[in-house]
Chain A
Amino acid sequence: MNTNESNESSGWLLTAVSCGGLLVIGAAWLVTPAGANGAAVTSARQVTILADQVTSAVVSTEPSKPAKGTGNFTGIVTLGGAALDLKPKVKKGDLTAKDAAVCAMDDVPDESLVVDKSTKGIANVFVYLDKAPAGKKYDTPKEPAVFDQKGCRFLPHGLIARVNQPVLVKSQDNIAHNTHTNPIRNTGFNQAIKPVESIGIKLLYDKPERLPVKVVCDLHTWMTAYHLVLDHPFGAMTNAKGEFEIKDLPPGKYEFIIWQESIGYVDRKFAVEITADKVTDKKIAVPAAKFAK
């Protein structure tokens, strides 16, 4: 009895501690103006509604043609509402910043939400299939992916790697970084990267991950990036304009995961039907209220 009790009561404590953070955020959500709150609810509905309505196979300006017998999935993820004004994480020339000589050479932008001014498209949103279409296996690309660091910033901010495809972790900075991941399925990576690492240290994911893996640098705590590991080629990340393209999907019905780092799932099961030799285009709007802190 004693053992159980102590476990339970400390469990409560743990809950209290770990949920403390959540509660604060939850509370912040509650105290936002009613209007914003209401918008959050209605426009959250719109994510699916919008998607369902805009099924028109709009051919984008420069569509690449799908391979024979397959279809492409393209689209744009946009922000519904005013973009947030995010301050840079490190200001240019800020001498109080850590390792300022390297890290404050230029602004280090806050990339938790990158919105294009003209299209309102959100960059760095992952659109992907959780699993490969049934029964299919896809070869691993031989070319390694490159994951660089410059000005105390990861480049690129988001990366899609394939299972067993080496990711070369490089650095152009004249200061050490340490690249640290905590994946669910793969072995964690926590390596010091020496200044000006031009050859690259091999990071290998040998198992697919369901969600993008957060990459941090413990020496420069503002540095973050995301790696998505797939065992198939059907994943894409939105570009600076918020556009994405997934090529050569076998025809059929799919449920895509749409994921953004600040809010997590934009949609768990975004239903899309792909028809052969056609490009399916979707517009996905994410309400700005979702990003309200």
Chain B
Amino acid sequence: MRIRPALVTLAAVVLTAVGCGQAPEAAFVLHQKTSELSDASRGAVEKELLNKFGTPHQLVAWQKFPFDYGASGENLVTGRNLYMRHCLHCHGVSGDGNGPTARFLNPQPRDYRLGKFKFTSTKSGLKPRRDDLREIVKQGIPGTTMPSFVLLPESELNAIVEYVRWLSARGEYEQKLVATLVGEGGGEKDISRRVNKDGESREAILKGLADFIAKDFVEEAAIAAGDVADSWVAADADENLILPSIARAGLDAKTGLPTDESLHKGRELYVSKKAKCMDCHGPGGLGDGVLTEQFWKIPGTTPEQEYAEPGLHDDWGNVQKPRNLTKGQYRGGRRPVDLFRRVYAGIKGTQMPAFGGTALTDEEIWHLVNYVLMLPHQKTSPAAKHPEKPSVASTGG
């Protein structure tokens, strides 16, 4: 059999030109909750999102939000282009943390649409500052699959941060619209239940919904957008930045390391009734506290439902292991001020509460930070060094 060189060459040329598959078409996808709405309600949400945010190809820079779009929106476009290149694989076109590689990752990439970000320098419950997001993009998150982008020029980092904020606002706006419509009874399951179980008429329900969408929805949507915009403004306000009132306490002037006295105080606080760190982080800081062993309720469910797996869950519904403090790995940064802020304001979207200004003084927080920073450096295992096992070791609750 003779191989025809011309044929082989032709095939090679054609394959090179055409490629092996089609380029993916970028599109914003609806949130799961949105797709569970009745047709008219879902249509209203879709229309609103399309009008106010556009598509990945045709972005809309809605001035309602305090974002730096650039004079003619060029910053948003730059941000999108960079996001598509660097972030989309994991975080997805819509910022839903569901890009093509997401299914292989643990922990899951952040879903921006809740409008919550864990590692911030702002007070409890607030969104991150621009600086916080930029720092995360620059430093990456050790212990997760988020890599560092420290070598990108500052202007590109800023554009990416701005686009992430925009995506987050888009997602949060969508969630709020859905919450409004679900509140009005626009959920498809809810309607079916009312029709099938309570014997209401579907037409009447749908008519009521249609009235709401025609009349009040616009106003409700404006309120929702205002809420989202306000929260982003608040995050960047200087009065909401956490600055310790005193410099890091309990340091040895010579070595620059915490004194034994400070570590002792930190340890006492760690196991104390008022901080109760070990309920989650465990007596030795291994992240194996009693609360990790029980089943937890899913927030926002009426009637209450439980997660399928035991252990703490974050607001995204993923199992959230309390940090193993002996590893020396700090996701939100390892500077003392980073740890101070974690304790002071808690970790947003998780059960880690804010201690600052309520349960602990700034000085106490510093002792705790000193203790936590030194935990990985104890010669023997911390659990061995502090053998006292608390009386609550058995699972309660």
Contacts and interface: CB of A to CB of B under 8 A. Distances in A.
Interface of A: 1-4, 6-8, 10-11, 14-15, 17-18, 20-22, 25, 40-41, 44-45, 90, 96-101, 103, 112, 174-176, 178-180, 182, 184-185, 187-195, 197, 201, 207, 210-211, 214, 216, 218-222, 261-264, 268, 293
Given A21-B298, A191-B358, A221 B197 contact: no
15 contacts: A3-B93, A15-B32, A44-B197, A44-B198, A44-B199, A96-B396, A98-B290, A100-B392, A176-B274, A184-B179, A188-B125, A194-B360, A207-B227, A219-B276, A221-B291
Contact of B24 (A4, A40, A99, A179): A4
B382 interface: no
B358 A192 contact: yes
Interface in B205-253: 227, 231
B22 interface: yes
A18 B92 CA distance: 20
B273 A41 contact: no
A122 B158 CA distance: 55
Interface of B: 22, 24-27, 29, 32, 35, 88, 92-94, 96, 98-100, 102-103, 124-126, 176, 179-180, 183, 185, 189, 197-199, 227, 231, 272-276, 279, 290-291, 294, 296-306, 308, 312, 315, 317, 346, 348, 351-355, 357-360, 391-392, 394-397
B351 A21 contact: no
Given A21-B306, A184-B176, A191 B98 contact: no
Given A41-B198, A263-B303, 12 more contacts: A3-B25, A3-B26, A7-B93, A45-B199, A97-B397, A98-B290, A112-B303, A175-B276, A176-B274, A176-B275, A189-B124, A192-B274
Top 8 nearest A-B pairs (CB, nearest first) are A98-B396, A192-B359, A178-B353, A21-B305, A194-B359, A187-B125, A218-B351, A264-B302
A187 B134 CA distance: 23
Contacts of A263: 302-303
B396 A6 contact: no
A94 to B, nearest CB: 9
A190 B350 CA distance: 9
Contacts of A96: 394-396
A221 B392 CA distance: 14
Contacts, number: 178
A248 B291 CA distance: 47
A25 B303 contact: yes
Contacts of B35: 11
B396 A180 contact: no
B303 A1 contact: no
Nearest to A261: B302
A201 B100 CA distance: 44
Contacts of A197: 358
Nearest to B199: A45
Given A44-B199, A99-B396, A184-B179, A190 B353 contact: yes
Q: Chain B contact residues: over half helix, strand or loop, or mixed?
A: loop
A2 B24 contact: yes
Nearest to A37: B197
Contacts of A184: 176, 179
Contacts of A192: 274-276, 346, 353-355, 358-360
Given A14-B32, A44-B199, A221 B124 contact: no
Contacts of A18: 32, 317
A13 B310 CA distance: 20
Contacts of A211: 183
B359 A2 contact: no
A37 to B, nearest CB: 9
A211 B180 CA distance: 10
A267 to B, nearest CB: 10
Contacts of A17: 308
A221 B294 contact: yes
A45 B291 contact: no
Contacts of B100: 2-3, 6
B274 A195 contact: yes
Nearest to A291: B303
B98 A41 contact: no
Contact of B299 (A2, A44, A194, A214): A214
B100 to A, nearest CB: 5
B276 A187 contact: no
Contacts of A40: 197
Contact of B300 (A182, A220, A262): A182
Contacts of A293: 303
B360 to A, nearest CB: 7
Contacts of B92: 3, 7
Contacts of B25: 1, 3-4
A32 B226 CA distance: 45
A5 to B, nearest CB: 8
B49 to A, nearest CB: 15
Contacts of B176: 184-185
A229 B303 CA distance: 20
A41 B196 CA distance: 9
B96 A7 contact: yes
A22 B273 contact: no
A263 B193 CA distance: 13
A180 B302 contact: no
Contact of B273 (A90, A112, A175): A175
Contacts of B315: 182
Contacts of A41: 197-199
Contacts of A194: 274, 358-360
B305 A7 contact: no
A220 B397 contact: yes
Contacts of B273: 174-176, 195
Contacts of B93: 3, 7
